[in-house]
Amino acid sequence: MRTPVHVVGGFLGTGKTTVLMAELARREGAERCAVVVNDFGQAAIDATLLGGGVQVTNIPGGCVCCTAPEGLGAAIRAILDELKPDRIFVEPSGLGRPRDVVDMLARGDVAARIALGPTVVLVDPTRSPADPTLFAEQLDAADVLVATRCDLADVDQLAAFDKLAHSLWPAPLLVAHATRGVLPAAAWEWPAGAGPRAAEAHDHDHEHHAAPARPDSTAGYLAGSWVFPPDAVFLWDGLTTMLAATTGVVRFKGVFRTDLGWYRLDLAGGVVHPAATSYRRDSRADVILRDDGDLAAFEAQLLATRSADRDPDTLDSSMLTIVDPSGMEIPLSRGALMAMPGQVADVSTVAPGRAGAGVCLRELLALTQEGERYIVVAADGLTTAAQPLESLGDSVIVHSLEGGPLPAEQGGPFRLYAARGSACANVKNVVRVRVLPADPG
């Protein structure tokens, strides 16, 4: 049985530790819980406050999203092995991005042993965010959005929070007000039909849902809505080309997990406007067509942009494919990787504590036309965020262990270990690396 893991995010001072203390007190005696805290400094203040009867693991030395990514998986693995808790809470630094923590957990060594719960993001309605960009990313990542310290907020501040929460699309599953850190019990569970747990049991032959045509609010138009499970992957090129060529669309907005990562796509005036998003719950779309449009045809075109790579029968994970900015594919076998220059006999020089031999990722990307950024794709469809090529450092693609192929249980046949501080520090089962002329977002 998988252990539920919750990410609790929010800016510095929004009350993350207070919320965890209240929730742990509520569960005391009913569950054995553990907490992973990412203190930005060395004082481990949060770990001290949360200590006592609860197992607390601190990851010091910087934001777990940036300078200490390798510590998160190791901490979770040790907790699962030694404590065997009923539930784990992860509190990243207030400067952290919840989406990065969720992605690290989803593609890390512990992915098969955990069940990601709703991501809870806290907002202090009495204060303006110091970093609007980070604030927007945290809002996008929120499955549950909570206004904290409501006893200190006035009516106008709470109204402003509610207006902000109401403006978000896709909307959080739950919006709540909290005093002294007490959240409703529903904040920690997926509602029926939502979240990764629902997707695991989803009937993939009936995973899209069209809204009734011509609802009263769109009289004279045709409206459709679709929701796809989080493991559905869409082809970026096909999706954006299809939307740009579609006629009769009054309005379209969607958020998709694509082969280039998670993006929000808005279509207005015939122009597709993409933006990277921290949303991770599912892929979904809403469209309004003119009355003379063809909703069934639009749906068929949308479904046709799904990636066939999601079918295990068509996925060839024995090859590592490099895709250059023009779309040309360069498939490389293990033998081809071993014959390239830039071999690394001992990957522990890049990733301490890891074993294996590989080749510098820089050598692989030198085979392509000149690009600006790269994205790593795993066999399960997970992707890294687009990374600038200058961030490659000593990143290595591991192809061998003890003279033989890298076993699947070790993340093989190919695995990425990136230089410390990279946002894609550890990707198992790598099948594709795509080089881009620029960030599509």
CA nearest to 307, candidates 195, 213, 437, 434: 434
Q: The whole model's pTM is what?
A: 0.81
8 A C-beta contact, residue 262 and residue 256: yes
Asked if 28 and 156 sit in the same domain, the reply is yes
What pLDDT score was predicted for residue 70?
61
Number of domains forming the structure of the chain: 3
Question: How many C-beta atoms lie closer than 10 Å to residue 46's C-beta?
Answer: 21
Residue 179, domain CATH: 3.40.50.300
Average pLDDT for consecutive 10-residue bins of the chain (441 residues)? 94 91 87 82 52 70 53 86 92 86 83 93 93 93 96 96 96 95 94 61 41 48 90 91 90 92 88 90 92 90 81 61 90 95 92 90 90 87 82 90 92 84 70 83 58
Tokens 């060529």 correspond to: 245
- Token look-up 């921290």 returns 278
Q: Cα separation of 313 and 315, whole Å?
A: 6
Same domain, 269 and 142: no
- Residues 6 or more apart whose Cβ sits within 8 Å of residue 101: 7, 9, 64, 65, 72, 90, 92
In a domain, 425, yes or no: yes
What DSSP string describes 388-413?
Answer: EGGG-TT-EEEEEETTEEPPGGGT-S
Co-location of 10 and 155 in the same domain:
yes
- Is residue 201 included in any domain, yes or no? no
55 inside domain = yes
User: What confidence score (pLDDT) does residue 354 get?
Assistant: 86
Domain closes at, from 277, 309, 341: 309
The per-residue pLDDT for 51 is 59
Give dist(CA 29, CA 24) in Å, integer: 10
Domain boundary among 265, 283, 309: 309
Residue 215 confidence (pLDDT): 40
Whether residues 231 and 159 share a domain: the answer is no
In angstroms, the CA 146 to CA 14 distance is 10
Q: State the pLDDT at residue 205.
A: 39
18 and 151 part of one domain:
yes
150, 16: one domain: yes
Provide the CATH number for the domain around residue 326. Answer: 3.90.420.10
Does residue 40 share a domain with residue 143?
yes
Residues 183 and 223 in one domain: no
What domain range includes position 429? 320-436
Residue 11 lies in a domain: yes
* 80 occurs within a structural domain: yes
Query: Does residue 402 fall inside a structural domain?
Result: yes
CATH number of the domain bearing residue 292: 3.30.1220.10
In a shared domain, residues 375 and 249: no
Are 156 and 246 in the same domain?
no
How high is the pLDDT of residue 313?
44
Q: Is residue 265 part of a domain?
A: yes
Q: Which amino acid appears at position 382 of this protein?
A: L
Residue among 121, 44, 48 at smallest CA distance from 279: 121
124 within a domain of the structure (yes/no) = yes
3-state secondary structure of 158: helix
Length of the chain: 441
The verdict on 22 and 170 lying in the same domain is yes
SS3 content of the chain, % helix, strand, coil (to 5): 30, 30, 45
CB count in 10 Å sphere of residue 404:
9
Q: Which of 264, 289, 309 marks a domain boundary?
A: 309
Q: Are residues 183 and 216 in the same domain?
A: no
